[in-house]
Protein backbone atom coordinates (compact mmCIF):
# COMPACT_ATOMS: atom_id res chain seq x y z
CA UNK A 1 0.00 0.00 0.00
CA UNK A 2 1.02 3.59 -0.44
CA UNK A 3 1.22 4.31 3.28
CA UNK A 4 3.57 1.35 3.79
CA UNK A 5 5.82 2.56 0.98
CA UNK A 6 5.89 6.08 2.39
CA UNK A 7 6.67 4.74 5.87
CA UNK A 8 9.47 2.56 4.53
CA UNK A 9 10.94 5.49 2.61
CA UNK A 10 10.83 7.83 5.59
CA UNK A 11 12.17 5.17 7.97
CA UNK A 12 15.06 4.28 5.70
CA UNK A 13 15.94 7.91 5.14
CA UNK A 14 15.90 8.65 8.86
CA UNK A 15 18.05 5.58 9.51
CA UNK A 16 20.70 6.77 7.07
CA UNK A 17 20.56 10.28 8.53
CA UNK A 18 20.96 8.98 12.09
CA UNK A 19 23.77 6.68 10.98
CA UNK A 20 25.72 9.79 10.01
CA UNK A 21 25.14 11.24 13.48
CA UNK A 22 26.83 8.22 15.08
CA UNK A 23 30.15 8.95 13.42
CA UNK A 24 29.90 6.19 10.81
CA UNK A 25 32.62 6.56 8.17
CA UNK A 26 31.76 5.24 4.71
CA UNK A 27 34.53 3.08 3.29
CA UNK A 28 36.49 2.87 6.54
CA UNK A 29 38.12 -0.50 7.24
CA UNK A 30 37.00 -0.29 10.87
CA UNK A 31 34.48 1.89 12.65
CA UNK A 32 34.99 3.79 15.89
CA UNK A 33 33.53 2.53 19.15
CA UNK A 34 31.02 5.40 19.06
CA UNK A 35 29.90 4.43 15.55
CA UNK A 36 29.52 0.78 16.54
CA UNK A 37 27.52 1.76 19.61
CA UNK A 38 25.36 4.01 17.47
CA UNK A 39 24.72 1.22 14.99
CA UNK A 40 23.64 -1.09 17.82
CA UNK A 41 21.38 1.64 19.17
CA UNK A 42 19.81 2.20 15.75
CA UNK A 43 19.29 -1.53 15.25
CA UNK A 44 17.89 -2.30 18.72
CA UNK A 45 16.80 0.70 20.75
CA UNK A 46 15.10 2.85 18.12
CA UNK A 47 12.84 0.06 16.76
CA UNK A 48 11.99 -0.96 20.33
CA UNK A 49 10.92 2.61 21.09
CA UNK A 50 8.70 2.68 18.00
CA UNK A 51 7.12 -0.65 18.97
CA UNK A 52 6.45 0.73 22.44
CA UNK A 53 4.95 3.88 20.90
CA UNK A 54 2.72 1.80 18.63
CA UNK A 55 1.55 -0.30 21.55
CA UNK A 56 0.76 2.84 23.58
CA UNK A 57 -1.16 4.35 20.66
CA UNK A 58 -3.32 1.25 20.23
CA UNK A 59 -3.80 0.81 23.97
CA UNK A 60 -4.53 4.38 25.06
CA UNK A 61 -5.34 6.49 22.00
CA UNK A 62 -7.52 4.18 19.93
CA UNK A 63 -8.45 1.93 22.88
CA UNK A 64 -8.82 -1.25 20.83
CA UNK A 65 -10.05 -3.78 23.36
CA UNK A 66 -11.39 -7.33 22.93
CA UNK A 67 -14.94 -6.15 22.19
CA UNK A 68 -13.68 -3.81 19.47
CA UNK A 69 -11.57 -6.59 17.97
CA UNK A 70 -14.66 -8.83 17.82
CA UNK A 71 -16.63 -6.08 16.04
CA UNK A 72 -13.80 -5.63 13.52
CA UNK A 73 -13.60 -9.38 12.89
CA UNK A 74 -17.39 -9.58 12.41
CA UNK A 75 -17.32 -6.67 9.96
CA UNK A 76 -14.47 -8.27 8.01
CA UNK A 77 -16.34 -11.58 7.85
CA UNK A 78 -19.52 -9.83 6.67
CA UNK A 79 -17.58 -7.97 3.96
CA UNK A 80 -15.98 -11.17 2.67
CA UNK A 81 -19.32 -12.91 2.09
CA 13 vs CA 18, 46, 57, 68, 76: distances in Å:
9, 14, 23, 35, 35
pLDDT in tens, the chain (81 residues): 899 899 889 988 988 899 889 999 999 999 999 999 999 998 898 889 989 999 999 888 888 888 988 999 999 999 887
Q: Residue 37, Cα to own-chain centre: how many angstroms?
A: 19
**Per-residue pLDDT at 59:** 84
- Which structural domain range is residue 36 located in? 2-80
- Diameter of the chain measured on Cα atoms: 59
Predicted model pTM:
0.58
Supply the DSSP string of 14-46, one letter for each residue: HHHHHHHHTT--TT-SS--HHHHHHHHIIIIIH
The total number of structural domains in the chain stands at 1
Amino acid sequence: SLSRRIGTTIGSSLGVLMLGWTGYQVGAATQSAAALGGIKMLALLVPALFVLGSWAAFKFVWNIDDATREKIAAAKTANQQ
